[in-house]
Chain A
């Protein structure tokens, strides 16, 4: 594999007697699109919080973008991008203001920020809406903007937490065009989704079940390994081995 941008060994997090993440070990390479799947409550959010430097592991280790999650969480935050469906941009600010605000948070100087802002608004075809309040823009545009803003500081890796929820199927696929392009530029993309067809767009995926990694590999290899025809079937098989009827 190319140089590892994320590497974990027996990464574990307990809350009291409950083990939310149970000794997971994996590596993700540069420019890889990695799909992080699992049922609600399987431990995805807890794992992501550890990888983004927001939560200390109970035991085990992880390095992200070359930094240790335990001793250098602030360094990690400076070197990753993060976007979630629920929280990313300020609805009361315009696209331009959001870019300026987040550029400031990431410590970009004025000149760089001005140039980046102009380039980004052009690339997203948002020039006409540059000064419109975000709340009146279509969700699909906001998601694209949020994804770009998460990359303002040129991170090595971008975490996307259910980035495509609630948009139409065409807009969803346009968003994936952006993901592919980002990965093509050597940036690692770590993405969670409940759309199982999107899992098949990833280079590799993992499926978490009860805090453990029940499967990890390329979509094709996993389908072969478990003898199923789709990731949807694999997911059902792993998450609910005996269906309740």
Chain B
């Protein structure tokens, strides 16, 4: 059985003057899904989210959110939606507690009514209850913003880059919270520039220059990478990357953590020949192992196919 749609986008486009933010986007997100939008700055993620949150009117196409039309029924949607914008948008001069009470009041509820939903997150903020929101650390601000977006128990939670600029540990904790919210039955739409977070979503859409390049499960996206992939190691990494790129049969060579991920234009790489090439380039210590591609490999291959790397638009 297919769950009813939480968000249904059909042929939505949006331009700002001469800048085309969204080309022609179709998306269908079933209820209860943890759905990720991956893409660089300027790919159109924020524009798409603002249309879904009824904060922007599409130039064309139609967005249906929780069964309501984003233009004619925007009031119904706003009541049922929690939105955490990319920029910190709480009241800096109000305390942690005052912010939360304010947002509860705006939505006609109280903090107590849905406290069970935010308890896990809010308990970490409790020691700073009296502190002004503007004086919180980055990680704490993010948690407070999430509490404020959840205080009216929304059916759909829209999070625009909640983990940008947040350290690796806080990012991990944030995703654990999202998992718990999903278990509560809340549909979650989240954008991120971090590829390792994409793996944690049920499904992901990859946006580039205002278009959706692909929508699939993390496994499905990874499966798009069909060439054999190798991890090559050597002590002198820069020399290694340069040598691999100069190799006549190279399809791609990108640094990946401690090694370089290399793919070959031929159906099967001649590893002995490649090692000899590296040896001649002064990399006697080079070692090669075949590996399974990860999601970032797949995304980069997708981007290469489009030939649009590094030319993303100017602003969100």
Count contacts on A: residues with CB < 8 A to the other chain.
44
Bound together, the chains give a CA A170 to CA B171 distance in angstroms of 22
Q: Give A25-40 as 1s and 0s: 1 = Cβ < 8 Å from B's Cβ atoms.
A: 0000000000000111
Judge whether A168 and B39 touch: CB under 8 Å. Answer: yes
Size class of the contact patch on chain B: 35 or more
Tell me if B312 and A140 are in contact (CB < 8 A): yes
Find the A residue at minimum CB distance from B19.
A136
List of A residues within 8 angstroms of B311 by Cβ = 138, 140
Cβ contact within 8 Å between B303 and A170: yes
Contact A40-B172, Cβ < 8 Å, known A135-B315, A139-B42, A201-B237: no
Q: 10 smallest A-B Cβ distances: which pairs? A: A168-B40, A180-B238, A166-B41, A170-B309, A200-B257, A39-B167, A171-B310, A197-B257, A140-B310, A200-B258
Asked whether B312 lies within 8 Å of A138 as measured between CB atoms, the reply is: yes
- Any A CB within 8 A of the CB of B193: yes
A-B contact pairs, 28 of them (CB 8 A): A38-B167, A39-B170, A40-B138, A41-B139, A135-B314, A138-B310, A138-B314, A139-B312, A139-B314, A165-B164, A167-B40, A167-B310, A168-B40, A168-B43, A168-B312, A169-B254, A169-B296, A170-B300, A176-B255, A181-B238, A184-B238, A197-B256, A197-B257, A201-B255, A219-B258, A230-B257, A236-B168, A240-B169
Query: Is B276 part of the contact surface with A, judged by Cβ < 8 Å?
Result: no
Verify if B54 is at the interface (C-beta below 8 Å from A).
no
Contact B310–A174 (Cβ < 8 Å): yes
- Report A-chain residues with C-beta under 8 Å of the C-beta of B171: 194
| Interface residue B208 (Cβ < 8 Å from any Cβ of A) | yes
- With a CB–CB cut-off of 8 A, which chain A residues contact B254? 169-170, 173
Q: Is B241 positioned at the interface, with any CB of A under 8 Å from its CB?
A: yes
**Identity of the chain B residue whose Cβ is nearest the Cβ of A166 in the assembled complex:** B41
Identify which of A169, A176, A232 contacts B168 (C-beta below 8 A): A232
Please provide the chain A residues from 35 to 65 with a CB less than 8 Å away from any CB of chain B in the complex.
38-41
Which residue numbers of B lie inside 8 Å of A, CB to CB?
19, 39-43, 137-139, 164-173, 176, 193-195, 208, 237-238, 241, 254-258, 296, 299-300, 303-304, 309-315
Residues from chain B with Cβ under 8 Å of A138 in the complex:
42, 310-314
Tell me the total A-B contact number using a CB cutoff of 8 A.
Answer: 119
* Known contacts A39-B167, A40-B170, A171-B309; A220/B296 CB under 8 A: no
**Inter-chain pairs besides A40-B137, A169-B300, A194-B166, 13 sampled, C-beta below 8 Å:** A39-B168, A40-B170, A137-B314, A139-B40, A139-B314, A165-B193, A166-B193, A168-B208, A168-B299, A171-B312, A173-B255, A177-B241, A197-B256
CB nearest to B171 among chain A residues: A194
Give chain B residues whose Cβ lies under 8 Å from the Cβ of A41: 137-139
Task: Across the interface, name the chain A residue whose C-beta is closest to B167.
Answer: A39
Known A-B contacts A162-B165, A194-B165; A171 and B257 likewise in contact (beta carbons under 8 Å):
no
Q: Is A118 an interface residue (CB 8 A)?
A: no
Residues of B close to A136: CB separation below 8 A: 19, 314
Within the complex, what minimum Cβ distance (angstroms) separates B139 from chain A? Answer: 5
User: Bound complex: CA of A29 vs CA of B182, how far in Å?
Assistant: 48
A40: min CB distance to chain B, Å: 5
Q: Kindly provide the distance from the CB of B257 to the nearest chain A CB, expressed in whole angstroms.
A: 4
Which residues of chain B have C-beta atoms less than 8 A from A3's C-beta? Answer: none
- Contact of A196 with B40 in the complex, beta carbons under 8 Å: no
Chain B: minimal CB distance from A98 (Å): 15
Q: Are B169 and A168 in contact (CB under 8 A)?
A: no
* CB-CB under 8 A for A169 and B169, given A40-B138, A220-B258: no
Chain A residues whose CB sits within 8 angstroms of the CB of B238 once the complex forms = 180-181, 183-184
* Residue among A38, A139, A165, A184 with max Cβ neighbours from chain B (10 Å): A139
Of chain B, the residue at the smallest CB distance from A175 is B310
A141 touches B (CB below 8 Å): yes
Q: Measured between alpha carbons, how far is A168 from B309 in the docked complex, in Å?
A: 8
A235 within 8 A of B: yes
> A38 to B167, alpha carbons, bound, how many Å?
8
What chain B residues lie within 8 Å of A232 (beta carbons)?
168
Find chain A residues with CB under 8 A from B300 CB.
169-170
- Whether B168 and A194, one on each chain, are in contact in the complex, defined by CB atoms closer than 8 angstroms, is yes
Q: How far is the CA of A183 from the CA of B195 in the complex (A)?
A: 27
In the complex, are the beta carbons of B164 and A166 less than 8 A apart?
yes
Interface membership of A109, Cβ < 8 A: no
Residues of B within 8 A of A137 (CB): 314
Cβ of A244 under 8 Å from chain B = yes
Contact with B along A130-154 (1 / 0, CB 8 A): 0000011111110000000000000
Contact residues in B for A196 (Cβ distance below 8 Å): 168, 257
Q: Give Cα A174 to B166, complex, Å.
A: 23
Chain A residues with CB under 8 A of B303? 168-170
- What string of 1s and 0s marks CB contacts (under 8 Å) between A152-194 and chain B? 0000000000100111111101101100110110000000001
| Contacting residues, chain B, for A165 (C-beta < 8 A) | 164-165, 193
CB distance from B165 to the nearest CB of A (A): 7
Q: Would you call A171 and B40 a contact (CB within 8 A)?
A: yes
